[in-house]
Chain A
Amino acid sequence: MNQTEAFYQRIEKALQNDQVRQNIRSAMNGLMQKRAEQFNDPEELSELREKARSIRHYSLAKQAELLEKLEQKLIENGIQVHWAETAQQANNIISTILKDAGAKTIVKGKSMVSEEIGLNDYLEQQQIEVLESDLGEFIIQLAKEPPSHIVAPAIHKNRQQIAKLFHHFFPELSYSEDVNELTLMARKILREKFEKADAGVSGVNFAVAETGTLCLVENEGNGRLSTTSPDLHIAITGIEKVVEKLSDIPGLLNMLTKSATGQTITTYFNMISRPRQPDEKDGPRAVHLVLLDNGRSRIRFDNDLLETLRCIRCGSCMNHCPVYVHVGGHAYGTTYPGPIGTVLEPQLAGINNIGALTSACSLCGACAEVCPVKIPLPKLINQLRAEAVNEHFSDKPVLGKGSLRKTPEVIAWSIWQKIYSNPFLYKTFSWFATSLNFLTPSKLGKWSKYRTVPKPAKKSLNQLAQENGFDYE
């Protein structure tokens, strides 16, 4: 089965699941409303977005220099730095650190990059026990599912489903569908793990070059526990997360929390600059940072595509995406779903692997309107569509260019072009019925399942214009 067919299958499955669709819709409504309440002054919002954009753009422009500075400061601070070009290398690095330390159990704070490299599976194959400690991640780890949203990973599940899941895995705890009680159950289960874990793994929201500081944004405290309680902390992050100065942080943090969950600030903002010092009583004795490329440096090579890398992973593009709202995160079949996933994933994994994602976008622009760092998502999606069907569209280093070019489509568009660029051929209005319907033979006419076929007008606009005496020249 090719990627396009597989994608259609996932979409079909998602659209049939009314429960999940309802769960997602109601959560997204809440998130959109809370965000809107935080940004009630359009002028201020526009300034804040421009500022955040400029900070992220500056960081990308100076990325090599800043990463070298970051590395130098981290080493001075006693944090060990590792570089991984690929997911495989990152997994290797992490498992080697863990084995060298004799670590058998690890607790994880939420990290999308660790999802990107498939860290959990990799470590479990090496007989290392991995426990997700973010409540949402914990839930989906029990359910053996990937996250469906980058900020709210278990958003597709409702409380009844979660209650059943907890009851199945922890029958000794009494069954409850109450959110508070479910939360307290998770606290109880996870506390013990935090106490006993040999190592903690986390992501990083921002890495500050000036001070050698790893910043983590969270509400639960699991991130702080994962990075503070065990004796070993391994952080993993994409190379694009570096920023120049500490003073860059407030402007980004503010936009991140408000855009993501409509919070003025999250409960915890955790800034780690050193492992446990000789006189300190706690904190990990060793801290490692793994810097992951995995295609990012290739994206940065092009001035248009590098806008993708400004992303601060707030998830507001998916919260506002009418496609995401209907199909949910799992339909994308990728680590990052929604508009940012549609732009990022084909660039990371290649259009030949996952370029079909770009078809699931009506180019409505809702995502770009809310993006806190002004990534022109629809424009990038449309550019990737052009790369997908034309190997020679640009000299951008995109993987799998032209791999979605299909002969029937090329023929259809060429006929369309002939008709529409030639005034003599084009004097009729039945273009939808004629040229577009055979674009995708496999989906022929499926759109008419939801709406009637428009009937061509009795007279063309050209005829009407003439008959009504307009200047016709």
Chain B
Amino acid sequence: MQLLRHEGVRVIFPKNQGCCGQPAFNSGYREQALPVARALSKCFPKELPIIVPSASCAGMIKHHWQELFAGQEDEQYVLDIASRTYELTEYLVNELRIKLTDLGEPIEIAVHSSCSAQREMKVDQHIKSLISQLDNVNIIEHQRKTECCGFGGTFMVKQADISGAMVKDKTDCLRETGATTVISQDCGCLMNIGGAFEKQMASGEKSMNTQHIAEFLWQRCYKE
């Protein structure tokens, strides 16, 4: 929000916003997902762009709400919301055409593109293009970079063992890069990956910082 404001955007934070409904939607409980999604949809009556700083939530609103709201009275309204929804980096690159100046120390990072960013929102190239504006930041590609980190919302709870095996693979691949920090567009993945690193530290493994792209950009380009 601070980053957007700094770029001259008037940011409104709708005070009643909650959840997009994805956890219940992806668990089969659509009845329960619908009122939650509807409550959120009511926060955006004005014809303004809606910026979502997490690709999977953006994907839910943009692509799955129409399935969830199919046949409902507010289906059209929700389609309108979907058309106004942007993932944060998408907005920064395509709409704002942001110009960044890197003020930070040289750093090597790895970028984890979430599944929603790659395959649903198709915005994974934007995070790269933002970082490519930063002179002192070097992205090191990791093995199997398109593979899911094992988050998957309630999947992580319902299939904890499989999810655990997936996040172990992901953290191993990220660690192999030798970079110090992992950047992502998705809060869920960051929570999963960061939590796994922290847990693995207990068994003496090297950890990495995890940071959301917005925070990373804010720290490098704006904070003195």
Contact = CB atoms under 8 A, between A and B. Distances in A.
Interface of A: 8, 11-12, 15, 322-323, 326-327, 359-366, 368-369, 379, 382, 385-390, 393, 404, 409-410, 413-414, 416-417, 419-423, 426, 431-432, 436-437, 439-440, 443, 446-454, 461-462, 465-466, 468, 470-473
B139 interface: no
Interface stretch (B99-107, B127-135, B191-199): B191-199
Contacts of B152: 361-364
Contact of A363 (B39, B155, B160, B194): B155
Contact of B150 (A322, A386, A423, A437): A322
Interface of B: 1-2, 5, 10-19, 21, 23-33, 35-36, 38-39, 67, 115, 118-120, 146-148, 150-169, 191-192, 194-196, 198-199
Contacts of A390: 28-31
B158 A423 contact: no
Given A362-B148, A471-B12, A385 B28 contact: yes
Contact of A416 (B24, B115, B198): B24
A450 B162 contact: no
Given A416-B24, A450-B160, A364 B167 contact: no
Contact of B119 (A364, A416, A436, A471): A364
B148 A364 contact: yes
A369 B196 contact: no
Contacts of A362: 115, 148, 150-152, 155-156, 163, 166
A453 B23 contact: no
B39 A420 contact: yes
Contacts of A413: 24, 27, 29, 32
A116 B54 CA distance: 42
B165 to A, nearest CB: 5
A449 B195 CA distance: 10
A11 B39 contact: no
| B contact face: mostly helix, strand, loop, or mixed | helix
A363 B115 CA distance: 8
A15 B150 CA distance: 14
A443 B154 CA distance: 12
Contact of A436 (B1, B11, B16, B23): B23
Contacts of A382: 25-26, 28
Contacts of B32: 413-414, 416-417
B10 to A, nearest CB: 7
Contacts of A422: 39
Q: Which among A420, A431, A468 has the greatest number of chain B C-beta atoms within 10 A? A: A420
Given A364-B152, A421-B38, A465-B15, 4 more contacts: A385-B27, A385-B28, A387-B28, A450-B199
A453 B28 CA distance: 24
Contacts of B23: 416, 436
A453 B195 contact: yes
Contacts of A323: 159, 162, 166
Contact of A322 (B1, B158, B166, B196): B166
